[in-house]
Structure 1
Amino acid sequence: MSEPFRTALTDLTGVRYPVVQTGMGWVAGPRLVSASANAGALGILASATMSVERLRAAVREVRSRTDAPFGVNLRADAEDAGERVRIVVEEGVRVASFALAPSRDLIARLKDAGVVVIPSVGARRHAEKVAAWGADAVMVQGGEGGGHTGNVATTVLLPQVVDAVDIPVIAAGGFHDGRGLAAALAYGAAGIGMGTRFLLTSDSTVPEAVKAKYLAATVKDVTVTTQVDGLPHRMLRTPMVDALERSGRLSSLWRALRHASAFRKETGAGWPQLMRDGLALKHGKDLTWSQVLLAANTPMLLKASMVEGRTDIGVMASGQVAGLIGDLPSCSELVERIMDEARTALRSLPDAG
């Protein structure tokens, strides 16, 4: 293992290297998170697809596999967010990350318990808001990133946020190697976050046949669609995505109801909670009722591919970097490679003096 690489992110979280494995639903489970943490990165456990009871068990499983710091990703708008925060605090988790901005009160509650709070944002104003509320750092995802995404490239968004806040900024969206880490550091970031690159490791539990589809994808095979849940969603183009984009309103509603029923059984959520979670995502957006349902239970479309290997009926969230990735290293091999590449890239820069 190479020497530690110190930045504001490593100082804040206690990890060895300024690399974050992001919290991907159905992908970032105990095995991947502990492997990432043992490799020196900050592994983030995805909790939105877990029941409350499973979350506690998953945190303890990660703890049994590693002594390194790790985090848990939470949905700030979920009805049971407070209960999940309690588990994070009680179990001594080092970092809480959020896909949506947490409230001022939620941030204060975590910080009072000594938990590092790192929300993800897609706009400068959101970074400024959570920084003012006390967030310890912020992850900025540009439009190249997988899953729900925006339309501003990382190279445009990142310097905006770095200039706007005085807390550590983690760059996400479009990163997969050490050259990207060196570039992010040059922009003023304290580290990088990667999802697709960690999904495509030997430590990932995603079925091998699904990984093979990612590896075979070109940059042009990664698309953005709003037909899954009404929100811009970056994923691999598959027959399922094509079918969703051709679907009429009635068939979309029927599909949404079927997936909502499955998600209820998976998480123990009731119909009222599903609708409230869906409406939270609908806020300020022009979504149909079928899209509201899909917004609340899109995880089942992801589970079909990421867990069951059914790419014919599921979706495959993906960053554009899938088109650049051609191997499945272990997390340890990946992180060591990234750090070696970053050091080489930084040493090769011309002397500006």
Structure 2
Amino acid sequence: MRTALTDLTGVRHPIVQTGMGWVSGPRLVTATARAGALGILASATMTPDQLRSAVREVRSRTDAPFGVNLRADAGDARERVRIIVEEGVRVASFALAPSKELIAELKDAGVVVIPSAGARRHAEKVAAWGADAVIVQGGEGGGHTGSLATTVLLPQVVDAVDIPVIAAGGFHDGRGLVAALAYGAAGVAMGTRFLLTSDSTVPDAVKARYLAATVRDITLTTAVDGLPHRMLRTEMVAELEGAGRMRALSRAVRQAARFRRISGHSWPGMVRDGLALRHGKGLTWGQVLLAANTPMLLRAAMVEGRVDVGIMASGQVAALIEDLPSVGMLVGRVMAEADDALASLPLRERNDSAARSGSVAPSGPAADSSPPGA
């Protein structure tokens, strides 16, 4: 299925595996690239040296295109950009809007720049600054997310910008891909669905917790870091929501120190990142400390398998997912489902029937049997 996304990035299928911290490592990204979709390495939980090593590991296993996700507000963002350029990575994606200068630097080096946005005005801004495409995530998506549903946000952004738009938030199958294409998107991005595959390194006990989740088990909370964060409702989430301010801050300071040791970040660097986060989101210093705590709470679950003391970011689609296919099986299934969905559209059936009876004479674009978005 050829769309503006496949043309832009060189992948075979209009599907993106998002950059999830502690989850989107070399194994998952390699499997995604081999399956013909766009895999994205999550670099925010890696040191620069670990990032370079991860890029080289993926490159040694496949020559298919893949990308790296960056935090635009990180103090070492330019160092990570240099690694992307030097290692010949095809795509750079961003969790926050990168600066106009950072976009220009990457584009000058031939890197495709795809920021993420949760509002139309943010998409318009990065498009004006030269981004090649934009991922727009509706409130159904996991992790930090907004309040606007994908079905409302997506058409707004498609109508507002003249670059390819990739839909995120609520996608897990081929029907969703076809729906996104019908809205005018060039493809879909999925996080939770790729997390729940056999190629994901997330511990089995954590995957089981996701598979058992119902819609009521997925919540949106500000208790973790002061920002709206969609995740599974767990013991830790309940504890954080019930914790007093001082207790939460004390825990955050301890966890921030642990994250510094694991990530290799310096205290001055973490303070700079905190300042950028505070400025960009209007957070109090207390919220900044809580935000510094988040990577370790995610690591406790996603790496250590501690569902009792960790948090598990999750899109609402977790309630619809019941299996753990390989990435190759997943991508193949999504594309087969998309083909079936296109073939079974009632409108198409009626048009085909009318054309055979002679009551409709297809001409021009209407006669093209290419799928929407192609």
Instruction: Tell whether the structures are fold-level matches, with TM greater than 0.5.
Output: yes
Match of 2:51 among 35, 39, 55: 55
Aligned to 2:189: 193
Match of 2:337 among 335, 338, 341: 341
The answer to whether residue 312 in structure 2 is matched with residue 316 in structure 1 is yes
Structure 2: gaps of 5 or more residues: 352-374
- Alignment partners' CA distance in 1, 2:342 and 2:92: 31
Match of 2:91 among 91, 95, 114: 95
Contact 1:159 1:188 in 2 (8 A): yes
- Alignment partners' CA distance in 2, 1:157 and 1:236: 23
Aligned to 1:222: 218
How far the C-alpha of 1:284 sits from its partner, in A, is: 5.5
Provide Cα deviations, 1:37-64, integer angstroms capped at 9, x if missing partner: 1011100000000001100000000111
The answer to whether residue 158 in structure 2 is matched with residue 162 in structure 1 is yes
Provide Cα deviations, 1:250-301, integer angstroms capped at 9, x if missing partner: 1011100111011100111122221221232222545343321221341111
Aligned to 1:259: 255
Number of equivalences: 349
Q: Where do residues 98-113 of structure 1 align in structure 2 (5 Å cutoff)?
A: 98-113=94-109
Which one has a bigger Cα radius of gyration?
Answer: 2
How far the C-alpha of 1:31 sits from its partner, in A, is: 0.1
Q: Where do residues 10-21 of structure 1 align in structure 2 (5 Å cutoff)?
A: 10-21=6-17
- Alignment partners' CA distance in 1, 2:297 and 2:65: 31
Aligned to 2:360: none
The answer to whether residue 205 in structure 2 is matched with residue 213 in structure 1 is no
Amino acid aligned to 2:189: G
- Alignment partners' CA distance in 2, 1:15 and 1:241: 38
- Alignment partners' CA distance in 1, 2:249 and 2:328: 44
The answer to whether residue 302 in structure 2 is matched with residue 279 in structure 1 is no
How far the C-alpha of 1:229 sits from its partner, in A, is: 0.5
Q: TM-score, normalised by structure 1?
A: 0.97
Aligned to 1:178: 174
Aligned to 2:144: 148
Aligned to 1:135: 131
Aligned to 1:304: 300
Contact 2:104 2:130 in 1 (8 A): yes
Amino acid aligned to 1:230: G
SS in 2 for 1:176: coil
